[in-house]
Chain A
Amino acid sequence: MSADRRQAGGVDPPYLHADYRSTALRAPLRPPLRIVYGPSELSGPSGAALLAGREQGVGADLTRQHAGEPLGERIIVHGRVLDARHRPLPDTLVEVWQANAAGRYAHVVDQHPAPLDPNFTGAGAFLTDAEGRYRFVTIKPGAYPWRNHPNAWRPAHIHFSVFGRSFSQRLITQMYFPGDPLLAYDPVFRSIPSPAARESLVSVFDPTHTAPEWALAYRFDITLGGREGRQGPEGREERT
């Protein structure tokens, strides 16, 4: 059992979280089966092979995917991807997607009556560098209403999908922005039991990475759970 599972309150949300209505019929309710990881859970696809296989939504500058510049506040988002032992994970695929500055997704089922931006799709995919670092340029997403409860609004967020080196490390999460008053009301954010774990999804304003006269910067580090299939000294799997 890893240290964070023992942490008060828990890191991951439970499947069933009554305040987030869509969990009611989609949350698995039976106790999960604790399995012996096999080679499939302890290995994973190469980031380079995944990126090479994609035909669309690739790149780390979401403001230069169309003829013109998107509207909104240009920002730099950067950070590191680490494993459970806080070692950097190089060459791993990071996928990001988000709403535009007006709070509208470039998605057919998003019916929020805010304008689409013909110069902004809001999707990117890139690899971490040798030190596990990533950096991308985008537009600060807007908050948007949803129908979870009366007058419900999602805080501004960017979705992150991260692979790591093994299937067991796979993570999809959301990055938020510091000082957002909507966080206190958001059932998705508040589904995370541990207050410290919850706060780890709030990016940090980072003046050291700001580009003067051009864009502000936010830092968001990602620490994956799971483990990889290395052999320990007695031929057992290493636990991380």
Chain B
Amino acid sequence: MRAGRTPSQTVGPFFEFALPWPGGPFVVAEGAPGAIRVHGRLFDGAGEPVPDGLIETWQASPAGTRGFGRSSTGRDGGFAIVTLKPTSVADAAGALHAPHLAVSVFARGLLKRAVTRVYFSDEEAANRSDPVLSAIPDDAARATLIARLEGGSYRLDIHLQGPRETVFFDV
């Protein structure tokens, strides 16, 4: 008998001793040539920080790095990943996707991961022709995926729920 797909379950509240590791948030070393910092806070539907979340990022483009970043959230819901800015990449149909990180959000209370992307505010032209951003007609909703360049690092808060709920994908 062939089993079907294995269902998801929550990461729970007790992963801190098992999943994060000190180098996890550093796809490249801080200060490496071209390194950028992408950071933000994770919030629930009441606007409260989520202090027991796990953010994972993946990017296909940078050669010579593991491409994967993992940051648990702190008491203030804060997370940060240090990486190289990805380049634009074409999908199988030839459409060019603007530079972005693929993002998974895990937390107690999330029975399955929430999936999104982080784009960059200083890639306006590429963002305008991106097929995912273009599929979001509402300006405010689209803005939930675009990290703003502030003081030398990129900032994007993730809202699991509420009036500023981040656009999540069906994967």
Contacts and interface: CB of A to CB of B under 8 A. Distances in A.
Interface of A: 2-4, 7, 11-15, 17, 20, 22-30, 32-41, 43-46, 49-50, 53-57, 84, 86, 95-97, 99, 105-110, 121-123, 159, 161, 167-168, 170-174, 188-189, 191-192, 194, 196-198, 200-201, 221-226, 229, 231, 235-237
B160 interface: yes
B160 A27 contact: yes
A32 B112 contact: no
Given A53-B66, A173-B8, A223-B4, A38 B89 contact: yes
Contacts of A54: 21, 23
Contacts of B50: 26
A8 B44 CA distance: 31
B171 A192 contact: no
29 contacts: A15-B110, A24-B45, A33-B170, A34-B169, A35-B169, A38-B89, A40-B60, A40-B100, A43-B58, A45-B66, A53-B24, A55-B22, A56-B21, A86-B2, A95-B18, A110-B14, A121-B17, A159-B12, A161-B11, A171-B8, A174-B9, A174-B10, A188-B111, A197-B5, A200-B3, A200-B6, A221-B6, A223-B6, A231-B92
Contacts of B63: none
A188 B13 CA distance: 13
**Dominant SS at the A interface?**
loop
B95 A30 contact: no
B129 interface: no
Given A13-B7, A197-B7, 4 more contacts: A33-B169, A38-B89, A107-B16, A172-B10
Sort A-B residue pairs by CB-CB distance and give the 8 closest, nearest first.
Answer: A22-B109, A97-B18, A26-B109, A123-B18, A13-B111, A32-B170, A45-B68, A174-B9
B102 interface: yes
A222 B9 CA distance: 13
B102 A57 contact: no
A35 B100 contact: no
Nearest to A57: B18
B22 to A, nearest CB: 6
B92 A26 contact: no
A26 B160 contact: yes
Contacts of A55: 21-23
Given A33-B135, A38-B132, A236 B171 contact: no
Given A28-B160, A46-B66, A49-B66, A109 B97 contact: no
B47 to A, nearest CB: 9
Contacts of B44: 25-26
Contact of A224 (B6, B21, B86, B160): B6
Contacts of A24: 45, 109
Given A38-B91, A225-B5, A28 B168 contact: yes
Contacts of A7: 4
B59 A36 contact: no
A11 B11 contact: no
A168 B170 CA distance: 10
Contacts of A159: 9, 11-12, 15, 18
B167 interface: yes
Contact of A12 (B18, B21, B111, B168): B111
Interface string B28-53: 00000000000000001110101010
